[in-house]
C-alpha cells in the first residue's frame, strides 16, 4: 500500500527523525506513521545531497534543515515542540542524545549512548554487571605500534581487532597474537586516526562446516520505563571473511526451549548498561561455554530485520520504535515466541558479499534466475559493474546484492541459500 501524505493534525505527537538515507526508508516510515505521530524530518544535507529525496520527505512531514549545526543550534530551529526523537544508526544516537538534552525529551543520555557505542566502555559495564565478558583492551588513537603490541600482549588469543566505534564489522580482523595486531595496524594507512579495541574471541559453538547457520543471533527488544518486551530472535547465516554477514533468518533454527535463556541474557545486558527505555538489538554468541553477549545496540537492528519481522509476523518494529521513542508503549507483540507454527513461515534475507580481496564489480549474471524463485520476494543489486568495493574497510556494507523472501521452513531456507549462491554470480577485480 502506498502511504498517504495526508495526516490528521489532531493531537498526534511530533516525532523528530534524524534522517539518514542509509538507515531510514522514507516510504516505510511514512507508511507506519499515520494515526501514531506526525513526522518531523531533521535533515543534514551533507549526508543526503539528493534533492529528490528532500522533496519526498516534504510529502510525509515537516522538514527542518540542520546542516552544519550543533545540536544546541538545531534546537533553536525547532519552533513547535517535539515529543520524541528517533535515531536509526549509532552516530545519530549521539546527536539524538544531545538534542534530547537540549529539548528536555525522553531519550538516552550522552553517558548511556557512550556505553552503547563504545565497545570498550560497554565491555566494562557488562563486566561490572556480572555478565561473562571476554578480555578487552583499548588502543587509543596516537598510541605507537610498539606500545599497542605491548598493551595487548596479556590477552588470550585468538582475538578480534576492531574500531572502538564501528558497525557492520568495518575494519574488523581476526588476530592470532599480539604481533599480528601490530602488523594489522601497520597495514592501515590512516593509523592511528581512531581508537581500536582488541577483544578475546568468544569460543565458537560449532564449526562452520557443521551447519548452514552461524553460532550467533540477535534478540530484538523494546523497553519503556524499565518494562522490557522481546519481539523475537533472528538467526544468521555463516559469516564471510572479515566477520561479514551473509544472511538473516527469522525465526532462527533454534528450539523454543532455548529462547527464554536468550531473552533473559538480553534483558540482563540491557539492565547492566543502566538502560530503562529504548529499542535494543542484542547480539549473542552461542559459544561452547554457553550464550555470551557480543554487543548491545540502542537502535533497531539492521540487515533487513524490520522487513523480516513484518513479513513473518505482520508486526512493525519501525512503528514500535517510533512509539517507544515518544515514551509510549508499543503495540503488543503478536505472539510470545514467533516460531514457524504460529507465523507465516521462515523469512530470509541473503547478503551477497564480495571476496575479501575484491575491489571492483566487473559483471553480474543470474539475477533473473533468482528473481524467478517462488519464495523470493525481491532482489536488490546494491552494486553495479564498475562500482568499487572494499570489504576490509566496509565490512558488511560491502554487500553487492540483497535477496529477501519467505519459505516454508528452515530446510527450504538452507536449500535456497545454496541455490542463490550457485545462480547469482558476480565477477570482480
pLDDT of residue 192: 62
Answer yes or no: are the C-beta atoms of 247 and 297 closer than 8 Å: no
User: Closest Cα partner for 145 from 180, 171, 114, 120?
Assistant: 180
- Say whether pTM exceeds 0.95: no
Q: In this predicted model, which residue has the larger pLDDT, 284 or 47?
A: 284
Between CA 9 and CA 140 the distance in angstroms is 50
Mean pLDDT of 368-380: 98
Between CA 349 and CA 290 the distance in angstroms is 27
12-45 in b/e form (b: 16+ CB < 10 A) is bbbbbbbbbeebbebebbbbbbbebbbbbbbbbe
3-state secondary structure of 216: strand
Is the domain spanning 346-429 CATH 3.30.70.270? The answer is no
Quickly tell me which residue has 522533496 as its cell. Answer: 55
Mean pLDDT of 310-330: 94
Between CA 390 and CA 171 the distance in angstroms is 10
Q: Could you read off the pLDDT of 115-155 as tens digits, one per residue?
A: 999 999 999 999 999 999 999 999 999 898 999 999 999 99
Q: Is 192 exposed, middle or buried (0-12, 13-18, 19+ CB in 10 A)?
A: middle
Region of poorest pLDDT, from 17-21, 35-39, 83-87, 167-171:
167-171
Q: Could you read off the pLDDT of 8-65 as tens digits, one per residue?
A: 456 899 999 999 888 888 999 999 999 999 999 999 988 765 667 888 999 999 999 9
3-state secondary structure of 126: helix
Q: Could you read off the pLDDT of 190-247 as tens digits, one per residue?
A: 666 899 999 999 999 998 888 999 999 999 999 999 999 999 999 999 999 999 999 9
pLDDT of residue 186: 86
Is the domain spanning 135-200 CATH 3.30.1490.20? The answer is yes
pLDDT of residue 2: 52
User: Closest Cα partner for 375 from 420, 400, 405?
Assistant: 405
Mean pLDDT of 93-120: 96
Class of domain 203-344: alpha beta
Mean pLDDT of 240-264: 94
Output the CA–CA distances (angstroms, integers) from residue 208 to 66, 71, 204, 293, 410, in the order listed: 46, 45, 9, 20, 17
Between CA 96 and CA 108 the distance in angstroms is 8
Beta bridge partners of residue 350, listed in sequence order: 247, 403
Q: Is 366 exposed, middle or buried (0-12, 13-18, 19+ CB in 10 A)?
A: middle
For the chain, report the end-to-end CA distance as a whole number of angstroms.
Answer: 41
Mean pLDDT of 157-179: 93
Answer yes or no: are the C-beta atoms of 301 and 234 closer than 8 Å: yes
pLDDT of residue 6: 45
CATH number of 14-107: 3.40.50.20
Q: Could you read off the pLDDT of 302-313 as tens digits, one per residue?
A: 879 999 999 999
Side-chain-side CA neighbours of residue 141 (13 Å): 9
Answer yes or no: are the C-beta atoms of 425 and 385 closer than 8 Å: no
Strand duo 136-139 + 84-86: pairing: unpaired
Q: Is 327 exposed, middle or buried (0-12, 13-18, 19+ CB in 10 A)?
A: middle
Share of the chain above pLDDT 90, in %: 82
Residue 276 φ/ψ region, left for φ over 0, alpha for ψ in the -120 to 50 degree band, beta for the rest: alpha
Annotated domain spans of the chain: 14-107, 135-200, 203-344, 346-429
Answer yes or no: are the C-beta atoms of 249 and 213 closer than 8 Å: yes
Amino acid at each position: 500500500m502506498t502511504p498517504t501524505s495526508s495526516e490528521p493534525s489532531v493531537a498526534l505527537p511530533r516525532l523528530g527523525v534524524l534522517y539518514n538515507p542509509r538507515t531510514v526508508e522514507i516510504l516505510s516510515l511514512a507508511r507506519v506513521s499515520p494515526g501514531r505521530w506526525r513526522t518531523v524530518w531533521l535533515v543534514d544535507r551533507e549526508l543526503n545531497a539528493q534533492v529528490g529525496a528532500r522533496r519526498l520527505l516534504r510529502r510525509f512531514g515537516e522538514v527542518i534543515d540542520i546542516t552544519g549545526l550543533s545540536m544546541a543550534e538545531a534546537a533553536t530551529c525547532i519552533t513547535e515542540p517535539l515529543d520524541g526523537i528517533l535515531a536509526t544508526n549509532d552516530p545519530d544516537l549521539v546527536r539524538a542524545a544531545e538534542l534530547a538534552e537540549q529539548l528536555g525529551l525522553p531519550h538516552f543520555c550522552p553517558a548511556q549512548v557512550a556505553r552503547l557505542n563504545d565497545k570498550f566502555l560497554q565491555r566494562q559495564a557488562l563486566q561490572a554487571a556480572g555478565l561473562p565478558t571476554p578480555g578487552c583492551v583499548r588502543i587509543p588513537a596516537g598510541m605507537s605500534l610498539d606500545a599497542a603490541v605491548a598493551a595487548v600482549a596479556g590477552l588470550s588469543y585468538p582475538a578480534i581487532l576492531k574500531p572502538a566505534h564501528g558497525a557492520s564489522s568495518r575494519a574488523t580482523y581476526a588476530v592470532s597474537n599480539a604481533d599480528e595486531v601490530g602488523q594489522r595496524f601497520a597495514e592501515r594507512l590512516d593509523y592511528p586516526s581512531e581508537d581500536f579495541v582488541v577483544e578475546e574471541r568468544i569460543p565458537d559453538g560449532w564449526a562452520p562446516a557443521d551447519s548452514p547457520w552461524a553460532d550467533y543471533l540477535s534478540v530484538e527488544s523494546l523497553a519503556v520505563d524499565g518494562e522490557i518486551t522481546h519481539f523475537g530472535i533472528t538467526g544468521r547465516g555463516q559469516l564471510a571473511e572479515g566477520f561479514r554477514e551473509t544472511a538473516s533468518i527469522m525465526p532462527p533454527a533454534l528450539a523454543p526451549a532455548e529462547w527464554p535463556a536468550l531473552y533473559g541474557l538480553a534483558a540482563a545486558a540491557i539492565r547492566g548498561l543502566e538502560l530503562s527505555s529504548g529499542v535494543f538489538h542484542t547480539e549473542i554468541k552461542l559459544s561452547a561455554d554457553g550464550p555470551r553477549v557480543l554487543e548491545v545496540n540502542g537502535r533497531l537492528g539492521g540487515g533487513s530485520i524490520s522487513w523480516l519481522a513484518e513479513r513473518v509476523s505482520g508486526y512493525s518494529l519501525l512503528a514500535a520504535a517510533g512509539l517507544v521513542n515518544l515514551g509510549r508503549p508499543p503495540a503488543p507483540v503478536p505472539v510470545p515466541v514467533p516460531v514457524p507454527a504460529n507465523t507465516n513461515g521462515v523469512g530470509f534475507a541473503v547478503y551477497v558479499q564480495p571476496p575479501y580481496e575484491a575491489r571492483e564489480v566487473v559483471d553480474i549474471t543470474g539475477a533473473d534466475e533468482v528473481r524467478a524463485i517462488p519464495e523470493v520476494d525481491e532482489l536488490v543489486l546494491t552494486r553495479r559493474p564498475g562500482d568499487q568495493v572494499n570489504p576490509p574497510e566496509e565490512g558488511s556494507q560491502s554487500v553487492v546484492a540483497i535477496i529477501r523472501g519467505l519459505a516454508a521452513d528452515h530446510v527450504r531456507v538452507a536449500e535456497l541459500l545454496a541455490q542463490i549462491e550457485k545462480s547469482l554470480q558476480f565477477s570482480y577485480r
